[in-house]
Amino acid sequence: MTTPVSARPHPGTAMTDEQRADFERDGFIVVPGVLSEDEVAHYAAAVDRVYEEHAAAGKLAADRSLHKLNAVDSCPDLAPLLDHPKAFGLVWSMLGWNVHVYHSHLDVHPPLTERKPFRFEWHQDGGRQNREIESDPRPRLSVKIAYWLSDVSQTGRGNFQVVPGSHLTNWIDGPPRRDMEWPNPEGAIEVTANAGDAVFFDRRIWHARSNNYSDVTRKGVFFGYTYRWVHTRETMSEDLAGLTPVQRQLVGLQDGDGDHAWGHYPKDVPLYGLLKEHDLLDPKYPPLIP
């Protein structure tokens, strides 16, 4: 098996016009074949090790699932996914170069052996952003990549559920209490994908995870990217060896100065330099202030 390496001499390719149009319309796109079979096996094995460590320590949820925050700090082997060249271009095409990872997690959801009590889980990412920002629609602010390490090509496997186009909607109909039986929002779908595919989505899209009643264990790794002037949920317990300058930027090790995070000094920002080196800076995305 070929072990992925951290060195990323190229930032990847820019989002195509077709991808951008689909993303702006639907709020998400599926990118097939981002990870090779070897990469899927490598990262799945890394996630399995974390899962077994938590199982041995009695730290799994009651349904034997694991939702572990701080993906790279929890599992350093996942670091190359921060800027994988077949997916990272979607991030800087949409948000530009002044970005970091503000939220990440690895997920393992084994098949459920009994029906779970109902809970309405539909939400937008961003937490308090969705209560404290008053515009309609609210600003994008962040995007997310989900790397699938298991086969979710059929529904019912804990699939990522979305309402296409709902990223431009601040509110959807829901129950007065989360435990009250309620139908899925109108237009909701389960997104299907093969192991190795990625899903790129706008934080504002209304989404939820379906319950996994199949015979397949659902495994995925999620990275949320936002502007460096938005505070991160991530923590890094140590300075990992082998990270590239861009990866250090993404996990917050490159520079902790608040003024610098505003992007006042582009030439000092690793991703800016890499995009400039490859002639990939695009003043239209994000747009310059006239």
- Report whether pLDDT(4) > 70: no
CB 152 within 8 A of CB 198: no
What pLDDT was estimated at residue 258?
Answer: 77
One-letter identity of residue 83: D
Does the 17-278 domain belong in CATH 1.10.630.10?
no
pTM: 0.94
What pLDDT was estimated at residue 288?
Answer: 62
What pLDDT was estimated at residue 5?
Answer: 47
What pLDDT was estimated at residue 255?
Answer: 65
Other Cβ atoms closer than 10 A to 101 = 26
Strand ranges of the sheet holding 189-191, from the earlier edge strand across to the other edge: 189-191, 160-162, 207-209
pLDDT tens by residue, 164-187 = 999 999 999 999 999 999 999 999
Region 72-78: mean pLDDT is 97
Q: Domain coordinates of the chain in residue numbers?
A: 17-278
Region 17-26: mean pLDDT is 98
What pLDDT was estimated at residue 270?
Answer: 94
Q: What is the CA radius of gyration of the chain?
A: 19
Return the SS3 of 178.
Answer: coil
pLDDT tens by residue, 94-146 = 999 999 999 999 999 999 999 999 999 999 999 999 999 999 999 999 999 99
CA distance 206 to 170: 9
